[in-house]
A and B are shown apart, each in its own frame.
Chain A
């Protein structure tokens, strides 16, 4: 074990009582200071509240890291139009698995954060756009919203403040692209989920062409703790530019996959050290810092601080802090092929570089994986990815290019091995979760 005890590195806030047998209930939430921040917030002037969240340095947890308070500040006030808050709970980025457990175990943190945010931006109707494929979470959101209405945290004249708010829980229907905020808005308006041209930005013309804030679940759920414990407390964690706590999701060939909540800037080495490392007898080969759309890292990057600046400086993005770890049994070409198939499937079809580019990437990758590739295909992959990256309508295209670029950068030799050796040299059975229980001798 490491010298530094794990409990000094971790800082559970949102996850602090997830082990309570009834953690999702209003009663449990209240026992843990739930809805106390709301009272403080309602006593502040809305503009002061926006400034407070801005000063806390909270940055969006959905991937881009845009300052949350600034998004709120962009909402024009006194414009006579309705304002909306839309919570992006469409968590679908491969590897990303933080919002869904958060909503399953502690939905009231989101609802309290939404009431505070809506009071700040002067919105009387908010939406939770939840991906449809998570019915257990939908149940608990329905129930949490019902409880909040019953307790007077939603509805009219909330806690005597004169502030009114309705929340609508909206289930999506299966489309990764709806995690992109403008596609989400189109989807919420009952259309195909395709991204919109920006400008106008949602803050000016969002839902129903009205000023709209779109925030990630974790961002909004973090707001009550900031109000309750203070921005100084929040800033005491992380770095100057990436302050605060966050959920890191460790998955793959690690000894103990799961959610690890701690200050921004922790490293994968620290997380692995406390979590028991990779599965026994294996070593880290490649990993993603924030989902499949963030360029992959290797074991060279174990000490990169996992905050917005640190990961950016190392050539990737913090993204959603989805740390998917793969060991040496995993074929990079197989992994990238599968991710690329995903992007091709999920491309909405609106813009040509993404729609056509992802299609052709899949064709090339399948050939390479099957041993039918040619050396010049590697340059072609690079070229196609280059024609998608930065040239697509939305970030899905950039995301599709990221695994291609980064895997060619770090593992070009492995691609060449597939081409020269006429196929994949890896045995997929060795990568499975049960491999080492079955085949210590079987595969000598």
Chain B
């Protein structure tokens, strides 16, 4: 697909010379995306409201938000690329570099972390040999830690392409990524059989999933959601000693028995450490900041 131009480093000495505009999409791609964009824009009284869905749409084309995608959004909405970039860099779901087909997010917010999310994240980093926000060499899996995903009664939670994998253990999570890498079909505990990240991004842009059975997959509410209802109906036996925590929980016993706390410097949430600027971070050129006037300098964008 359309590739971004070289990083900022090569332009280090070209003072005062603005960067060339991003390349456009090939004509056929552009025509197709324009049709989609018109449909998105028509949903809103004000066209700019379409920006978030359009950024999802361009991610569905290229897997991340490229300069070309930013240019496309800007043109559709009559904004500047700077305005679009300011928005694209604010939200964590917009990827800023090429990443994997499957975004594996381990919740490491307090409750999931305590319940085992930290151990799961450590296990996956070690097993895959990658760190936070890195991708396996085959381009299949991007690993990241995520914040609370509103499923605390199913903790610890792992999300893959934003489908729920509830009540995980290090063992089940390792199996999950192995299956993804091997190309085996993977089904979430709540949600539809996995599609690729690009296909997911299209749903996020507001185009309903057309796959047969996708909406009804995994049935009504998940088991924890029914805890109160079942009690009310008198359906639940006396409280169990160990329980409702997913079948693989018991097999893991002892395997993750790390007696020491991770050093805080290695916390998954180290992303709020002082962010490196694009200038000091050649790995992450953060285009098109070369022609920016300072709008990237936001600490909350840590990574």
A interface residues with partner B (beta carbon < 8 Å): 1, 6-7, 10-12, 15-16, 18-24, 82, 91-97, 99-101, 104-105, 125, 131-136, 138-140, 142-143, 146, 168-176, 187-193, 208, 248-253, 255-262, 274-277, 280, 292, 322, 324, 326, 330-331, 334-335, 337-339, 341-342, 344-349, 355, 358-359, 362, 365-367, 369-370, 423-424, 426-429, 431-434, 436-439, 442-443
Contacts and interface: CB of A to CB of B under 8 A. Distances in A.
B150 A138 contact: no
Contact of B272 (A104, A134, A341): A341
A23 B220 contact: yes
B117 to A, nearest CB: 9
B204 A95 contact: no
Nearest to A272: B239
Contact of A259 (B155, B228, B236): B228
A347 B275 CA distance: 14
Interface stretch (B27-35, B129-137, B243-251): B243-251
Nearest to B231: A6
B70 interface: no
Given A139-B209, A345-B300, A424-B261, A261 B228 contact: yes
Contacts of A187: 52
A192 B87 contact: yes
A392 B93 CA distance: 26
Given A341-B267, A349-B300, A190 B52 contact: yes
B212 interface: no
A139 B215 contact: yes
B7 to A, nearest CB: 24
B125 interface: no
B220 A134 contact: no
A378 B45 CA distance: 51
Most buried by B among A208, A280, A348, A438: A438
B215 A259 contact: no
B269 interface: yes
Given A91-B150, A136-B192, A362-B272, A189 B46 contact: yes
Contacts of B56: 132, 171, 173
Contact of A131 (B150, B156, B163, B218): B150
Q: Which 6 A-B pairs have the closest CB atoms?
A: A276-B239, A258-B227, A438-B253, A190-B51, A260-B228, A173-B91
Nearest to A331: B261
A135 B203 contact: yes
A172 B253 CA distance: 38
B9 interface: no
B225 A18 contact: yes
Given A18-B221, A142-B209, A338-B110, 11 more contacts: A24-B220, A136-B164, A143-B215, A173-B93, A257-B153, A258-B223, A258-B228, A259-B228, A346-B300, A432-B115, A434-B116
21 contacts: A12-B228, A15-B226, A24-B215, A95-B148, A134-B164, A135-B192, A139-B209, A173-B92, A189-B48, A191-B51, A249-B152, A255-B243, A256-B240, A341-B269, A428-B262, A429-B256, A434-B253, A434-B256, A437-B242, A437-B253, A438-B253
Contacts of A338: 108-110, 113, 267, 269
A99 B218 CA distance: 18
B239 A93 contact: no
Contacts of A105: 220-221, 225
Given A132-B204, A190-B50, A96 B220 contact: no
Given A101-B222, A274-B231, A366-B264, A96 B111 contact: no
Most buried by B among A131, A262, A344, A365: A344
A92 B119 contact: no
Contact of A359 (B218, B233, B272): B272
Interface of B: 43-46, 48-53, 55-56, 77, 86-87, 90-94, 105, 108-111, 113-116, 118-119, 146-156, 159, 161-164, 167, 169, 188, 190-192, 200, 203-206, 208-209, 214-234, 236, 238-245, 249-250, 252-265, 267, 269, 271-272, 298-300, 302
Contacts of B163: 135-136
B264 A369 contact: yes
B148 A439 contact: no
A322 B87 CA distance: 31
B244 to A, nearest CB: 7
Contacts of A99: 150
A214 B81 CA distance: 30
A370 B263 contact: yes
B239 A275 contact: yes
B91 to A, nearest CB: 4
B269 to A, nearest CB: 4
Given A104-B221, A355-B299, A433-B156, A438 B257 contact: yes
B204 A334 contact: no
Given A22-B216, A173-B93, A97 B153 contact: yes
A174 B94 CA distance: 8
Given A105-B225, A258-B153, A172 B216 contact: no
Most buried by B among A1, A257, A324: A257
A441 to B, nearest CB: 10
Contacts of B219: 21-22
B242 A136 contact: no
B50 to A, nearest CB: 7
A366 B215 contact: no
Contact of A15 (B223, B225, B257, B272): B225
Contacts of B253: 434, 437-439
A276 B188 CA distance: 28
Contact of B115 (A19, A280, A431): A431
A140 B208 CA distance: 9
